[in-house]
Amino acid sequence: MALLSSPRRRRRLASLVGILALVAVAAGVIALLPRHGGAGGAGTLTQAPRNPFGTTTTPNEGTERAAAGAAAQAARPLADAFVADVVQRRHLAQAHALLSPKFAAKYTLSDWQAGKHLPVSFDPEKQYSVSTVLSFSGAKTAGFVSAVDEVPHASSEIPLVAVRFDKERGRWLVTYIRQGHSSRLVDQSNYAPSGFLPGSYSQGNKDWAILILGFLAVVALVVLLDRLLGGSRRPARV
Confidence of residue 101 (pLDDT cuts 50, 70, 90): very high
**What pLDDT shows up at residue 62?**
82
Mean pLDDT of the chain: 76
Domain count within the chain: 2
Both 124 and 158 in one domain: the answer is yes
Lowest mean pLDDT among 37-46, 53-62, 104-113, 149-158: 37-46
pLDDT at 9: 61
Outline where the chain has alpha helix (H): 7-32, 59-88, 92-96, 101-106, 109-114, 205-233
| 107 vs 80: CA distance, rounded Å | 20
Cα-based torsion angle of the residue sequence 181, 187, 188, 190 in order, rounded to the nearest 10 degrees: -110
Residues 210-237 have a mean pLDDT of 60
**What does residue 154 show for φ and ψ, rounded to 5 degrees?**
-125, -15
Q: How confident is the model at residue 196 (pLDDT cuts 50, 70, 90)?
A: very high
As a whole-number percent, the residues of the chain with pLDDT over 90 amount to 37
Q: Check whether residue 175 and residue 63 sit in a common domain.
A: yes
Does the pLDDT of residue 71 top 90, yes or no?
yes
The three-class DSSP label of residue 16 is helix
Q: Residue 5: what pLDDT?
A: 59
CA distance 169 to 50: 34
* Exposed / middle / buried, residue 29 (Cβ in 10 Å: 0-12, 13-18, 19+): middle
pLDDT at 38: 36
Using the predicted structure, report yes or no on whether residue 122 has a pLDDT greater than 50: yes
Segment 51-60 long-range contacts (CB within 8 Å, at least 24 positions apart): none
Confidence (pTM):
0.64
- Residue 236 belongs to some domain of the structure: no
The tens digit of pLDDT for each residue in 164-180 reads 999 998 999 999 999 99
* Neighbouring residues of 164: CB distance < 8 A, sequence distance ≥ 6: 141, 142, 143, 144, 174, 175, 176, 196
90 shares a domain with 183: yes
User: What CATH number does residue 131 fall under?
Assistant: 3.10.450
Range in 8-17, 82-91, 156-165, 201-210 the model is least confident about: 201-210
Percent of the chain with pLDDT over 70: 59
Task: Name the nearest CA neighbour of 193 among 206, 180, 184.
Answer: 180
Paired residues of 127 in beta bridges? 151
Confidence at residue 50, expressed as pLDDT on a 0 to 100 scale = 38
Residues 83 and 159 in one domain: yes
114 and 185 co-located in one domain: yes
Are 184 and 222 part of one and the same domain? no
